Amino acid sequence: MKELLQVKLVKKRKNPRFVRDESFKRKEVGPSWRKPRGQCSKVRRCLAGQPAMVNVGYRTPAQVRGLLRSGLAPIRVNNVRDVGALDKKKHAAVISASLGARKKLVVLDALQKAGVSIVNCDPKAFTDEVKRRQEEKKAARKKVAEVKEEPTKKKAAKKQAEQPAQEDKEKEKKELDKILTKKE
């Protein structure tokens, strides 16, 4: 197995970079490979001096095709149930990009407990980043809550300042009522 992985590595180094015909000439044509189908295409006819065309001879050995350099097969993980199906000697986890931060934290924790290697994420750095973002969100929410409370605090202070004045007015009204009722 190790010999085949070494062969794969050597072949990969020797292989040319396959680019789409005329991608280096035209801006609108991207570099990702497409088979040339033109009648006069020099790449299709495999003429000298043209970019290499994909063919079977460039393939890696079938037993190691699709494996990582470590010899592990990458398996996509979408949830915690998928972690149970992984064998840490044969598989490496590739965490799905569609997962949110909270669910990703749970999956990372399960993968670490299972001892499965993770290909596309550094668990410690990711958890630190998520915690930092959560703290920033909490601080922002506090600021928003304080800004919303300021007018209500001002209103409450204003009411308290007005309350003694209202009590004085009510007392005066009662005294006037007493005076008016005595005359009758």
pLDDT digits (tens, 9 = 90+) for 16-27: 999 999 999 999
d(CA 94, CA 116) in angstroms, rounded, equals 10
Query: Do 109 and 129 lie in a common domain?
Result: no
Q: Do 132 and 182 fall into the same domain?
A: yes
Judge whether 40 lies within some domain.
Answer: no
Same domain, 128 and 83: no
Query: Residue 90: inside a domain, yes or no?
Result: yes
Q: Is residue 129 in a domain?
A: yes
Position 13 in a domain: no
At 184 the pLDDT is 53
Residue 59 lies in a domain: no
Q: Is residue 147 part of a domain?
A: yes
Q: How far is CA 166 from CA 37, 163, 171, in A?
A: 91, 5, 9
The values of phi and psi at residue 91, to 5°, are -120, 150
Residues in the chain: 184
Are 150 and 98 in the same domain? no
How does pLDDT run along the chain (184 residues), one tens digit per residue? 889 999 999 988 999 999 999 999 999 999 999 999 999 999 999 999 999 999 999 999 999 999 999 999 999 999 999 999 999 999 999 999 999 999 999 999 999 999 999 999 999 999 999 999 999 999 999 988 888 777 777 777 777 777 777 777 788 888 878 777 875 5
* Same-domain status, 98 and 132: no
Q: How confident is the model at residue 180, as a pLDDT?
A: 76
Spatial contact of 99 and 107, defined as CB atoms under 8 Å apart: yes
User: Per the domain annotation, does 179 fall within a domain?
Assistant: yes
- Say yes or no: 132 and 166 in one domain: yes
Indicate whether 104 and 147 sit together in one domain: no
* Angle of CA points 165, 169, 175, to nearest 5°: 145
Query: How high is the pLDDT of residue 55?
Result: 92
pTM of this prediction exceeds 0.75? no
Is 181 found in the same domain as 126?
yes
**Whether 112 and 147 share a structural domain:** no
Domain interval for residue 170 = 122-184
157 inside domain: yes
Q: What is the pLDDT of residue 183?
A: 57
The count of structural domains within the chain is 2
List the structure tokens of 74. 């990458």
Does residue 79 sit in the same domain as residue 110? yes
